[in-house]
Structure 1
Amino acid sequence: MRVTPISELNDRARDIFRLVVENYLGSGAPVGSRTISQLSGLNLSSASIRTVMQDLEEMGLLAAPHVSAGRMPTESGLRLFVDAMMQVAEPSAEERRVIEQGVGEINGPIEDALASTSAILSGLSACAGMVLVPRRELVLRQFSFVPLGRAGPGGAEQALAILVSADGGVENRIVDLPAGVSPTALVEAGNYISARLSGLTLAQAREKLAGELARDRAVLDEAARGLIESGLASWSSDASERPVLIVRGQANLIDEHASADLERVRQLLEDLEGKQEISRLMEGAMQAAATKIFIGSENKLFSLSGSSVIAAPYRDGEGRVVGVVGVIGPTRLNYARVIPMVDFTAQTLSRLMR
């Protein structure tokens, strides 16, 4: 998508273009020449303003949704405005307080802090908030099995495998039990993992287990050994598919303008359901030095929904980028306010990770 350089606009065109974009972003509705003439102080007639708006339309910066409507910025126009004309507004003292207090109050698993951050950002921006969770393996602290009985008539015996990680998180998996596993073996297997494999990642635990069993087959009976292997595998096998994207505030996407564009909103909500695609987009922002802005069809994922994403990377205590925080909303969102808000949230998360 070619973006018209700001140097190609004279002062009059630049002023009118800026007013059209700012009014459109504020109202969500096409802007007419009469509105510009009343607001601008340019001392230009509506006819003169319409002529300039027509020129801007021919340059691909403005568009008219239908003949009798006013003008609205195209995606190229929004890109020009964001990159070359927009004056950002720093987050207010109250917004900074809400972000810092909401993030700083979390004392449990880091996922809780990130979920809270996503919800806070959603509330402040009136968009859907998103946080990409750092990719990391669980570190074992405690492990246990609870018998569940058979999975229906003729089904396999099952147990609930319960993993407590080092950061306090608790996850469950249902596993099929190897033949011949007794209640005693369930307890023995859980105790073995907790005592011998605590403090290790899943990959490290499986490696250590294989080494110990190779050296001393008598350390566990066959049933308990199979149970431990299948229990650990139930986590390791889905490590690459673990949800890494937290989204909050999808309801914000259904605003007073949504009724006129229900198909776009439906498409956007479907995009959010496909978290793997959104995650890949957010991961692209991890390489950015600062806040990254994706407008509409600049990314093929949003070619139908016409959405924008503002995303900024956050870092750990060693300065390494470990995740991304951002918002997703319609292309008419308030960029000047939301961009610095996302950036400040990323900075706040970075301080939390130290």
Structure 2
Amino acid sequence: MTNPPITELNDRTRTIFRMVVESYLESGAPVGSRTLSKAGSKFGGLNLSPASIRNVMQDLEELGLLAAPHTSAGRMPTEIGLRLFVDGIMQTAEPSAEEQRAIESQIQGEGPIEEALAAATSVLSGLSACAGLVIVPRREAVLKQFSFVRLSPVQALAILVGGDGSVENRLVDISPAITDSSLNEAANYITARLSGLTLADAMKRLDSEIRVEKAALDKASANLIRRGLAMWTLDANERPVMIVKGQSNLLDESAAVDLDRVRQLLDELENKEEIAKLVDSARDATSTRIFIGAENNLFSLSGSSVIASPYRDEGGQVVGVVGVIGPTRLNYARIVPMVDFTAQTLSRLMK
């Protein structure tokens, strides 16, 4: 169903829709017409009978913005309704001074950046009562040593030792025609000629030396080196590193009535790769992005929402993303600016 523009709703319908959404986000329970009729004075003096409100709620249900969990219940917003509310009605404010101090006090400039990111995620989780997420800035590996170990006629283990002492292994498919001599030649070339370079710079030097015939390599060895370096470069670009804090916040009192959804979400968090890719997609956003429920296939079962905002380095380049994940029933108006402020604080730290 197409999401109707907010301008298509008249003032009375828009007010009742906002009342339903805000009441639901606060209580987590469907909202009835009688409740809205009694609360009308808080919303610009709305003075309507329960019957009139029911008629409007029925219209909103037909538009796909509200739904009733069962016949005798009140109404609650659908995911389409939440999207319309977030994009067209919700009013946000800056985090309170206390919240700002809590965030800034935990994000310090001393020590490894990963510690500051973990602290930012923890404080954001605590303030939002969600699980906190942060994508760590990508750091290109610097080559120190490289070797190949043949495992079979058609497969070898490529072993990379980074400048920071880290060791990583990758399986590489090879042609049966590649000899042990070619494997050693390729490994010795990488260690001798490309040590101290990032993967991208190593690839550039290899291509340059082959072009001007400075690389004493046969074609098989050159192709093997290219594939080995490209494997780590691709891996670094496609598998963002994510820190998660505060999963226990997802097991609140409301989780007892929806254990299957919470269990599904925790399973999704356990397998971080897909969620990391989703959060990392907020790199392209100019401000905070909100992913609601089944809008993304990843959350088609758990019905979860992610609020994420990019943070930048001193050159203004996006280097990571920070955010929260929780049920679709979030206090978006409060949490969105909180996530945005955390991203801004991390950006100042990176400068």
TM range (shorter): 0.7 to 0.9
Q: Residues 19-57 of structure 1, C-alpha deviation per residue, up to 9 Å, x if partnerless? A: 110010001111111211111122211121111111111
Alignment of 1:296-315 (within 5 A): 296-315=293-312
SS in 1 for 2:258: helix
Are 2:57 and 1:53 aligned?
yes
Give the distance between the partners of 1:201 and 1:240, measured in 2 at CA. 14
The separation in 2 between residues aligned to 1:129 and 1:271, in whole angstroms, is 14
> 1:90 aligns to what SS in structure 2?
coil
Residue of structure 2 aligned with 1:136, choices 114, 135, 139: 139
Distance in 2 between residues matched to 1:242 and 1:285, nearest whole Å: 15
CA distance in 2, matches of 1:237, 1:55: 50
Q: Which residue of 1 aligns with 2:100?
A: 96
* Paired amino acid for 1:126: A
Aligned match of 1:9: 9
- Cα distance in structure 1, aligned partners of 2:313 and 2:259: 40
1:164-185 deviations in Å (ceiling 9; x for gaps): 73xxxx757799xxxxxxxxxx
Show the 5 A alignment for 1:238-317. 239=236, 244-317=241-314
- Indicate the percent of aligned positions where both proteins have the same amino acid: 66
* TM-score, normalisation: structure 1: 0.75
Q: Aligned equivalents of 2:121 and 2:138: distance in 1?
A: 17
CA contact 2:288–2:309 (8 Å) conserved in 1: yes
Contact 2:141 2:162 in 1 (8 A): no
State the one-letter code of the partner of 2:291.
F
Where does 1:135-284 land on structure 2 (aligned, <5 Å)?
135-139=138-142, 165=164, 200-201=197-198, 239=236, 244-284=241-281
Report the Cα distance in structure 2 between the residues aligned to 1:341 and 1:22, rounded to whole angstroms.
Answer: 18
**Cα 1:66–1:205, aligned 2, differ >3 Å: closer, same or farther?**
same
Q: Aligned AA for 2:122?
A: A
**Deviation for aligned residue 1:137:** 1.9
Q: Is the 8 A contact 2:126 2:246 kept in 1?
A: yes
Once residues 95 and 47 of structure 1 are traced to their aligned partners in structure 2, the CA distance between those partners, rounded to angstroms, is 42
SS in 2 for 1:257: helix
Deviation at 1:116, TM superposition (A): 1.3
Cα deviation, residue 317, structure 1:
0.7
Which residue is equivalent to 2:150?
Answer: none
What is the RMSD computed on CA atoms of the aligned residues? 3.9
Q: Distance in 1 between matches of 2:297 and 2:110?
A: 36
Q: Give per-residue Cα distances to partners, 1:84-116, cap 9 Å, x unaligned.
A: 1111021001111111111125422x2221111
Matched, 1:33 2:37: no
In 2, Cα distance between equivalents of 1:291 and 1:206: 35
Q: 2:114 aligns with which of 94, 104, 111?
A: 111
Q: 1:345 to 1:24 in 2, by over 3 A?
A: same
- What is the SS of the residue equivalent to 1:104? coil
Query: Is 236-245 or 64-73 further displaced after alignment?
Result: 236-245
- 1:310 counterpart SS class: strand
Q: 1:239 to 1:12 in 2, by over 3 A?
A: closer
Q: In 2 relative to 1, CA 287–242 (structure 1 residues): closer, same or farther, beyond 3 Å?
A: closer
Unaligned runs of 5+ in 2: 146-159, 171-190, 216-228
Measure the CA separation in 2 of the matches of 1:274 and 1:45: 49
Separation (CA, whole Å) in 2 of partners of 1:302 and 1:6 = 25
Please tell me whether residue 324 in structure 1 is matched to residue 304 in structure 2: no
Q: TM-score, normalised by structure 2?
A: 0.75
Contact 2:240 2:280 in 1 (8 A): no
Instruction: Tell me how far 1:248 sits from its aligned partner.
Output: 0.9
SS in 1 for 2:71: coil
Cα distance, 1:312–1:237 mapped onto 2, change above 3 Å: closer
Partner residue in 2 for 1:344: 341
**Matched residue type, 1:79:** R
Q: What is the distance in 1 between the residues matched to 2:239 and 2:282?
A: 20
2-side partners of 1:307 and 1:272: how far apart? 11
* One-letter amino acid matched to 1:316: D
Are 1:64 and 2:68 counterparts? yes
What is residue 81 of structure 2 aligned with on the other side? 77
Amino acid at match of 2:126: G
Pairs aligned (count): 315
3-state SS of 1:30 partner: coil
CA distance in 2, matches of 1:338, 1:75: 18
Checking the alignment, whether the CA contact within 8 Å between 1:4 and 1:76 is kept in structure 2 is no
For residue 285 of structure 1, report the CA deviation from its aligned partner.
0.9
Cα deviation digits, residues 190-222 of structure 1 (max 9, x gap):
xxx9xx966x546768999xx9xx99xxxxxxx
